[in-house]
Structure 1
């Protein structure tokens, strides 16, 4: 199984779809039968919500809407075709456009390219300035590799939702995170420590493997200062890191460094035993008995 850690192609849907397909190919060529992408990877999470300018927000919202996907549109079909071509299951988070509304959506795509989509029921406070709530639902699919479910971001902090998911007896859970940055003035409670701990707790409470993909969020991409105080940054932190955990919370693959882009791999045994990762002699790889990673240089856009 594989988890992607990468910077989205911000507000550029066509480039983002091409990027996603490249990662699908790389994961499949690396031996993965399931690859997971971060929350709202297409077209990227709307970090401008933390900016202090109403004008900027209006500009970004219009661009975000025009770069969001439709559930039955050609972009998601192209990703489904890539999954079928490689015979790999794909989990990907995206912004779903429906009329003038945008929803936080997750898609699970099987190796035949069949697509199932669920919308996040309760976006968090700031997320509701961009995304609409929905009637929700659970996204869990039976596959030849086990029972797979997915949740996005802060849904992992909702005890009642975690309980409903655990009742479904997942064997593989995808905890999709949008990225870890910190708004000026907020404490570490919203940093990677809490979110990684949430993934570990989910693995332990649900007795399930957890694949936790995370987007890279470079400061250079969203660094804006408060207009009232030119020396004050509103955002800081680079995002990351993606992880893969076993049912007891044991980390199964060495993580990439914060801000690095690439894919991490681990072989999962749904009977809760770990098989060694297959040997690969690809030059850009690093292997351990429990997992491996591939790296690539961050794209500059």
Structure 2
């Protein structure tokens, strides 16, 4: 980061299970942020088409009633809907980090799509390991999802939800000199009376610790559960007890752990804004840099494989012929798609 920049962090409910409606709302929030001078806007986890709360409320068989609609309203990266969002980023001159359920053929991934101010894709990551019941719906990412991207605003990275409880994944981004981190969260309103682990205190603390550990700015975007979503998903008293409306706890956090924007109420839609001063990172890094002068690589080190892994590897025909020969040093040529 070479200069101070204004950023925006969304706290809102999607138009649930509605791709077109949520794309419209996405562009509207981008336009609002651009009017207010923001150069970057961050959205919650699976903002399009909303977080699949039905996974947490009953059996997998019960939740299957929502799966087709969820699948059909997830975002394909080469779709007209994705192009509309990218075109809006270019028109507005704003950078976007968008939480999506990304659809690739028959598989869904919990994704974060990084779009620059020219509407070009900087990167697209996928949650490395969906959490708990999420694994019944989503596939897994690979090492390419632990990347930090160089942009005109600074080095930009992101993680989804409880990836912020994975120490090695966090360290991988710290070590790439991440300056601005987009933490994508759902709503903190599930199982509220059963466990603190899913509540706001623990998970806001995870974003705050990330900022302090990595000496970076954190845009922790958190969605809302709307009354409309409650009406759709909570068909009996037990489900009403498990999931409540609200749960929005978006934050913009500085490298010293301080809030840089006044939080909204947990049931209030809006956008948080803050100006990020690169000098704050200098002071934080001087005190402690866990991947730099505050590290001990002679004692502990991270092995990081960022290469993408694909289910099909196409072998070069030349290699097939060589492999059938008796030549001891036949070279391997292959292309991963």
Superposition TM-score, scaled by structure 1 size = 0.86
Separation (CA, whole Å) in 1 of partners of 2:280 and 2:206: 20
- Bigger drift between 2-11 and 114-123 goes to 114-123
- Per-residue CA deviations over 1:155-179 (Å, capped at 9, x if unaligned) read 0000110110110111111111011
Q: Does 1:246 align with 2:254?
A: yes
How do 1:1-301 and structure 2 match up within 5 A?
A: 1-115=7-121, 116-136=123-143, 137-183=145-191, 186-218=194-226, 221-222=229-230, 233-272=241-280
RMSD across aligned C-alpha pairs, in angstroms? 2.0
Stretches of structure 2 that go unaligned for 5 or more consecutive residues are 1-6, 283-337
- Provide the secondary structure at the position in 2 that maps to 1:82: helix
- Provide the secondary structure at the position in 2 that maps to 1:24: helix
- Aligned residues between the structures: 273
Structure with bigger helix share is 2
Stretches of structure 1 that go unaligned for 5 or more consecutive residues are 275-301
Q: Is the 8 A contact 1:48 1:222 kept in 2?
A: no
Residue 273 of structure 1, CA deviation: 7.4
- Per-residue CA deviations over 1:189-246 (Å, capped at 9, x if unaligned) read 210111100010000000001111110113552366686x769723235211211011
Superposition TM-score, scaled by structure 2 size = 0.77
Residue 271 of structure 1, CA deviation: 2.3
- Provide the secondary structure at the position in 2 that maps to 1:182: coil
Separation (CA, whole Å) in 1 of partners of 2:107 and 2:238: 34
- Bigger drift between 174-183 and 207-216 goes to 174-183
Structure with bigger strand share is 1
Residue 134 of structure 1, CA deviation: 2.7
